[in-house]
Amino acid sequence: MRAVELFEEGRGTAEIARMVGVHAESVRRWRRLWEKDGAQALRRRPARGRRPKLDDAQVEEVRTALQRGAQAHGFEADLWTLERVGLVVERVTGVSLSRASVWRLLTGRLGWSLQRPERRAVERDESEIARWIAHEWPRIKKGR
């Protein structure tokens, strides 16, 4: 809309491009639209393209289902994978999603991020490790 004001002031394409911070070709395209259909032609329009397979209500159903945990859906470990999430989405909504679509659902619409479990032995004893580092390691190091 700032470009429209500048068109009406009679400013040149290069000057408008500099002032608005766009390429001159964009200004020329805007000017053609403005001259043909007026300022209304330059107003923002809703994004076009394919509608998402899941509407907002379905996404919230999926969020609720996923928050219950993987074990609540019959999986052995309480870890989510793209395949597992895809199965839950299909059970809850009846919509089948590709792995890529599941990833976009998780990271985009649900706002989740990739988390990987730590690879540590269940038997690991942190206090024993600290004791060994404090007492045994210096003794071994001295023996060199």
Q: Each residue's pLDDT tens digit in the chain (144 positions)?
A: 888 888 888 889 899 999 989 999 999 998 888 888 888 888 877 778 888 899 999 999 999 999 999 999 999 988 899 999 999 999 999 999 999 999 999 999 999 998 887 788 888 889 999 999 999 899 888 876
Q: What is the pTM of this model?
A: 0.54
Q: Exposure of 33 by Cβ count < 10 A (0-12 exposed, 13-18 middle, 19+ buried)? A: middle
Distance CA 141, CA 105 (A): 53
The Cα–Cα gap between 22 and 20 comes to 6
Domain boundaries, the chain: 2-42, 56-109
